[in-house]
Structure 1
Amino acid sequence: MSETFPALHDSHLQPIAPESLRPPFSSHKPRILILYGSLREVSYSRLLAFEVRRLLERLGCEVRVFDPAGLPLPDEAPVSHPKVQELRDLSQWSEGQVWISPERHGAMTGIMKAQIDWIPLSVGSVRPTQGKTLAVMEVSGGSQSFNAVNQLRILGRWMRMITIPNQSSVAKAFQEFDADGRMKPSSYYDRVVDVCEELVKFTILTRDASSYLTDRYSERREEAAELEKRVSLKSI
């Protein structure tokens, strides 16, 4: 078997640098954005979002919860719409995110999907969500299901996010919150705590090495080719 690599451009293949994976940790609080996928007056995904916010703040994070009320459908309004700008600014600000959707007809809600669709994959050469951490959760009115969290995982991968292994699915959510909107003690609550802990750990572990973790051979090649093309055009 040949040990040569005729298709490989050696100049763009960089040796792995372990020291780049262990930069000094930032001292500021991890910045977490929470999105939820319902506009109902009594929304269990919203109640879960607020419960998650409390837990993340207890764990030392700075947290923002985006209210999807008033957000237009994708392509219904320009990106200059105030709610779209608010969402994009919060996404850019965040170092990690939590996506919480009800499961409706075996899938995430349209409200959840619309928020994600408004967050761009790229703005020029910048990929706004690349390398950010992500936790996924869902609530359902019936028995426990994982359809929505599975779909959210696919979207997280598409957005080039680091989706943590743990997740939460709260079944019969109407039974899991008290009259004050607080989540009752249960195995579901314990799993939510697990997910929050894991998200904070992964965020602290990866945020300072994010640019190195997402530095890719293929993109280095593309950038070099574009630069060579620009230089060639200038010389004409």
Structure 2
Amino acid sequence: MNILILSGGPRKTGRSALAANYLASLNDGMELIDLSDLVLPVYSGEEEQNHLPEVKKLKEAARKADGFVMISPEYHGGISGALKNALDYLGSDYFAHKAVALTAVAGGGKGGINTLNQMRTIMRALYANAIPKQLVLDPHCFNREEKTLLEEPARLINELLDELQLYTKAGIQIRKEGLR
């Protein structure tokens, strides 16, 4: 089972990157695309963009994926521009009937829910199956000095991944049998 983690935080040392790296360390079947490393030009829809090495890498990773984890910081009440731009390069062919786990990294308080709702709306438009379990990680969830998650948030991420794997297996079976 191939799971693609799309980390939408534009900061190389941000909390989105910490969460994504933690997730990637859990399982050999996961690939991480960190949008602070994979710099994509603003999507224009022009054909020549499809030939750029960064775009090819993103599309190939998405094509191979059986399921996805989306991680985005909440910026001004929504998903990061970096993640939205990356998703604009991908269409429903990459997401149809595939399970997606949604994670927001917020600044604390009641943040994150708008980001999750926007990601869920976008996944619905791409015919993806955003799983019911979702997660908001606030600043208190991280040990910044050790560059990792604290125990309780790590447990929650593991539970999110367990649910994603359950839905991903079902999606693989549906696609294998040709039930669309």
TM-score, scaled relative to structure 1: 0.69
Query: Cα–Cα, structure 1 residues 106 and 214, in superposed 2: closer, same or farther, change >3 Å?
Result: farther
Matches for 1:21-60 after TM superposition, within 5 Å: 30-55=1-26, 57=27
Instruction: Name the % identity.
Output: 25
Q: Equivalents in 1 of 2:138, 2:179: separation in Å?
A: 35
- Please report how far the alpha carbon of residue 132 of structure 1 lies from its aligned counterpart in structure 2 after TM superposition: 1.1
Q: Amino acid of the residue matched to residue 60 of structure 2?
A: D
Could you tell me how far apart the structure 1 residues matched to 2:110 and 2:176 are?
Answer: 37
Q: CA deviation at 1:32?
A: 0.4
Who is 1:73 aligned against?
Answer: 42
Name the aligned partner's letter for residue 130 of structure 2: T
Q: How does 1:209-220 map to 2 (within 5 A)?
A: 209-210=174-175, 215=180
* CA RMSD, Structure 1 to Structure 2 (Å): 1.9
User: Would you identify which runs of 4 or more consecutive aligned residues in structure 1 move more than 6 Å?
Assistant: none
- Distance verdict in 2 for CA 1:190–1:144, change over 3 Å: farther
Aligned residues: 175
Structure 2, unmatched stretches of 5+, are none
**Would you say 1:133 and 2:99 are equivalent positions?**
yes
Distance 2:33 2:171 in 1: 24
| Aligned pairs (5 A) from 1:133-212 | 133-145=99-111, 146-172=113-139, 176-186=142-152, 188-210=153-175
Structure with the higher strand share, 1 or 2: 2
Of 63, 67, 76, 2:30 maps to 63
The alpha carbon displacement at 1:41 in A equals: 3.4
Q: Which consecutive residues of structure 1, in runs of 5 or more, have no partner in the other structure?
A: 1-29, 122-126, 216-236
SS of residue paired to 1:49? helix
- Deviation per residue, 1:90-141 (Å, 9 max, x gap): 00000000000000111111011011111123xxxxx232111100001012
Q: CA deviation at 1:176?
A: 1.5
Any idea what the Cα deviations from partners look like across 1:192-215, whole Å, max 9, x if unmatched? 121111001111222121265752
C-alpha contact 2:9 2:17 (8 A) present in aligned 1: yes
Q: Deviations over 1:57-109 (max 9, x none)?
A: 0xxx5111013232111018611111111000100000000000000111111
Cα distance in 2 for residues equivalent to 1:213 and 1:45 = 35
* CA contact 2:9–2:34 (8 Å) conserved in 1: no
Distance 1:88 1:96 in 2: 14
**Distance between the aligned counterparts of 2:110 and 2:138, measured in 1?**
4
Work out the CA distance in 2 between the residues paired with 1:144 and 1:53. 27
Shift of 1:50: 1.0
